Chain A
Amino acid sequence: MGFLQGDTNNIILDAVLTDTGRQFLSKNDGSFSVVKFSLSDDEVDYSIIQKYGRTVGQEKIEKNTPVFEALTNQAFAQKYRCVSVSNPNLIYLPNLTLLGNNVSNNILSIGNTTQKTRTVTVSQNISNVSSIDIELRDQSFIVEVNNLFLQVLGTAPDNIDNNLRATYILTRDSGQTAQGGSTLTLNVGTKSITDTQFQIYGASNNKSLITTFIKVSGIQSGAVLEFQVNISSTL
């Protein structure tokens, strides 16, 4: 994946169908149907504004930010989406945090024998503000897991792509945080992982440990939480 040529006055858009888009087109059943769009800014480092100020910082972002080519893997093509909120005066935005008994430093530990399930909670949090703007309270979340190793218990994935990435669209819990934020309780379970898979996918220095990631995105807030999951063959 290279960079796009950005030294011209014209802005060129480089567009590709994703793997999923091609898959849906090939089905020839009308499943390829674009109904909405989203904007994202994955390459942009907004801390430049803090460092250089709004005037110079904006110019540096605009002129000195190389942009990668379009990716065909839908899991990585749009990571950080831009968000529409009708209130233009927001100073603070919520983020997502991970809570759970087996979570340490945002890493979830899970086993493949007796401890095959874990329950974690993803919670919307905000600092310095008494309540989260109502438009930013997530009503549902998109959860993406590696379908080879993990599953969200109690529900079926909405889609499994060619890269074995399972996507679940889950509704928030009924309760809320003190600031009005949403929470999502996730029951994560390991699939039946064989010893051979541990040999193939295990860490090079520890073949009893597989590392994978879970991505949770709030549909309303756009906030993204990606956390590591360590699957141990001995637990």
Chain B
Amino acid sequence: MAVFKEFSAEDVKTNKSYLNQLVDILGSDISGSSTRKQYQVFVTGGLGPGVTSSLFQTVFDQDFTLQTANAIFDTTFGLHTGSEVVTYLNPTIDSNGKYLFPANSLMMREKMDIYRLFAQNLLGDSNAMFTAISGSTSYNIKEAMFICFKRLFSRDQVKRETFAIRYYASGASLGAGQQNLAKASSNGSFILTDINSSVNKEYEVGGQVSTVVDSANIANPLGLLFLDKGILVLDISRSFDQAGPISGAIDCVTNTAGIVTNFTGTLKNLMSSGSMDEFLDHVCSTRFTGSDETSITFQNITNINSTLFFCRAGADEFNYSSNPTFTDENNRITVIDPGQEETQRTFTFVTSIGLYDSTDNLLAVAKMSRPVKKDDERDVTFKVRLDFVRKNNKRKIIFRNR
């Protein structure tokens, strides 16, 4: 066919490549109330007006009420049954296995369920406990903060040894009569990283895992990063200061009209007394910088499966055109000067390539950034690459060989 050329077997190749993108998450996005969304699906029953809380919060890259906002990660926290936060409250267990906690705690069963959810998915056993290991040092993670990066940012996986998170381990300093539950801190700056994970490639039920360590003391493991799932598991009790005082107003269940009470205690106390929103609000709004500095960074990996089509236009092919300006009103080819018919040959300027099926359906089209000359002295090969990436099945072609 004169306007089509069929591909031969050697003209079509498939290959696989990888794309890395750098993701920077600003502290102000994590700490800001307009960029962190709550989903208040939990409501206490029984006494009083009740307390509502999320089971997780989502951090966006801008005001989440805007349609252009992208969700960056979901965050929540959970408690293992062996956690001191749980055992300190001395819960009883009823005949159905349900934990019963004293009245000065809130959402304890939900916090334990969250831990079990992540343990089930990442460790394969809902009763299992996360363990951070660095060399001969290992710690059980009994109180865990989970940061689940959205697929838009983690893509196919997080790249090893590119992850870092910066936060303040201690709460804001307290003056006389002051409250710091919602006060931005600048005490105890910590940077955690998954350094050396390229040479310690470990696997769990949830896929590849890196140990996250204190950048100032890499023998000190403080969390786990599940690379395939894009989930960070942070050891709260060792990553944050547990002794420093925290005070402020938190929601509580009462049989009176008000549901706010004054809280004074440590971060560990807040984990039991506060709702999940209270804890997450405190950590996100006070322990991450409110400025536009980077608080979390990593590189992701996108696996790109590509099909390469080598569109070979031989010297004698595609040198004429059906473009209406290619001929004049007398059907004469305009690119050949009158009287020069013996010496001049036609040429075309190609601007697009169409890929067709056997019944002439145009399946994909590629456009060049500028016209490319084709004449009988040029044997041109256009390399068209169709990438099949996860987000949408389209795209993108990079260059042409001549």
A contact set with B: CB distance below 8 Å: 4-6, 8, 10-18, 20-22, 24-25, 31-47, 49-50, 53-54, 58, 61-63, 65, 67-72, 74, 77-78, 80-86, 88-95, 125-129, 135-136, 142, 158-159, 167, 169, 217, 219-224
Partner of B348, one of A25, A41, A53, A217: A41
B200 contacts A by Cβ under 8 Å? no
Most buried by A among B6, B331, B384: B331
Residue among B335, B351, B355 having the largest count of chain A Cβ atoms under 10 Å: B351
A13 near B351: Cβ-Cβ < 8 Å: no
B365 touches A15 (CB 8 A): yes
Q: How far is B334's CA from A80's CA once the two chains are assembled, in angstroms?
A: 16
The reply on B201 being an interface residue by CB < 8 A is no
- Set of chain A residues within 8 Å of B333, measured between Cβ atoms: 90-93
Check A69 against B367 for contact (C-beta < 8 Å). yes
> Which A residues are CB-close (under 8 A) to B3?
38, 81-84, 219-220, 222
- In the assembly, what is the distance between CA of A159 and CA of B324, in Å? 27
Mask: chain B, 201-227; 1 = CB below 8 Å from A; 0 = not: 000000000000000000000000000
Give Cα distance in the complex from A65 to B356, angstroms: 26
User: Does B90 interact with chain A (Cβ within 8 Å)?
Assistant: no
User: Does B395 have its Cβ within 8 Å of any Cβ on chain A?
Assistant: yes
Asked if B332 is at the interface (CB within 8 A of a chain A CB), the reply is yes
Q: State the CA gap A136–B321 with chains docked (Å).
A: 12
Chain B residues within 8 Å of A, Cβ to Cβ: 1-7, 12, 307, 309, 311, 313, 316-328, 330-337, 341, 344-374, 376, 382, 384-386, 393-400
Contact between A82 and B394, CB atoms less than 8 A apart: no
Known contacts A18-B362, A40-B354, A46-B323; A12 and B309 CB within 8 A of each other: no
| B-side contacts of A6, CB under 8 Å | 369-370
The CA of A11 and the CA of B401, in the complex, are separated in Å by 10
CA gap between A18 and B128 in the complex, in Å: 49
Q: Are B368 and A4 in contact (CB under 8 A)?
A: yes
- Residues in chain A near residue B382, CB distance under 8 A: 13, 39
The interface residues of chain B lying within 8 Å CB-to-CB of A31 are: 357
Cβ 8 A contact of A11, one of B365, B369, B376: B369
| Closest residue of A by beta carbon distance from B357 | A33
Closest B residue by C-beta to A49: B335
Contact B316 A88 (CB under 8 A): yes
Residue among A8, A14, A46, A158 making CB contact with B335, cutoff 8 Å: A46
On chain B, the residues within 8 Å of A42 by CB distance are: 323, 351-352
Are A126 and B7 neighbours in the complex by a CB distance under 8 Å? Answer: no
CA distance A38 to B345 in the complex (A): 21
Minimal beta-carbon separation of B193 from chain A (angstroms): 37
Q: Given A88-B376, A92-B327, are A11 and B367 neighbors across the interface (CB < 8 Å)?
A: no
Nearest CB in chain B: distance from A186 CB, A: 18
Number of A-B contacts (CB under 8 A): 315
Cα of A164 to Cα of B323 in the assembled complex, Å: 26
Contact A34 B364 (CB under 8 A): yes
A33-B357, A41-B371, A159-B361 are contacts. A13–B336 as well, Cβ < 8 Å?
Answer: no
Whole-angstrom CA separation of A218 from B396 in the bound complex: 30
User: What is the bound-complex CA distance between A27 and B328, given in angstroms?
Assistant: 44
Q: Given A41-B323, A221-B322, answer yes or no on A54-B359 (Cβ-Cβ < 8 Å).
A: no
Say how far B351's CB is from chain A's closest CB, in angstroms.
Answer: 5
List of B residues within 8 angstroms of A135 by Cβ = 2
| B334: chain A residues within 8 A (beta carbon) | 46-47, 49-50
Is the CB–CB distance between B316 and A33 below 8 Å? no
Query: Are B7 and A34 neighbours in the complex by a CB distance under 8 Å?
Result: yes
Contacts of A67 in B (CB 8 A): 351-352, 367-371
CB-CB under 8 A for A74 and B353, given A13-B397, A14-B369, A14-B396: no
Asked whether, in the complex, the Cβ of A14 is within 8 Å of the Cβ of B397, the reply is yes
> Closest chain B residue to A78 by CB distance?
B354
A22 close to B321 (CB less than 8 A): no
Known: A15-B384, A46-B326. 10 other contacts (CB 8 A): A12-B398, A16-B394, A33-B358, A37-B309, A42-B351, A72-B365, A80-B324, A82-B319, A88-B346, A135-B2
A15 close to B396 (CB less than 8 A): yes
B5 adjacent to A36 (CB under 8 Å): yes
Q: Which residues does chain B contribute within 8 Å of A16, judged by CB atoms? A: 364-365, 394-395
How far apart are B160's CB and chain A's nearest CB, in angstroms? 31
C-alpha spacing A145/B382, complex, angstroms: 32
The answer to whether A34 touches B351 (Cβ under 8 A) is no
Does B320 contact A84, Cβ atoms closer than 8 Å?
yes
Chain B residue contacts of A58, Cβ below 8 A = 347, 349, 373
Measured between beta carbons, the chain A residues less than 8 angstroms from B4 are 36-38, 219
Q: A15-B396, A25-B393, A219-B2 are in contact. Are A62 and B371 (CB under 8 A)?
A: yes
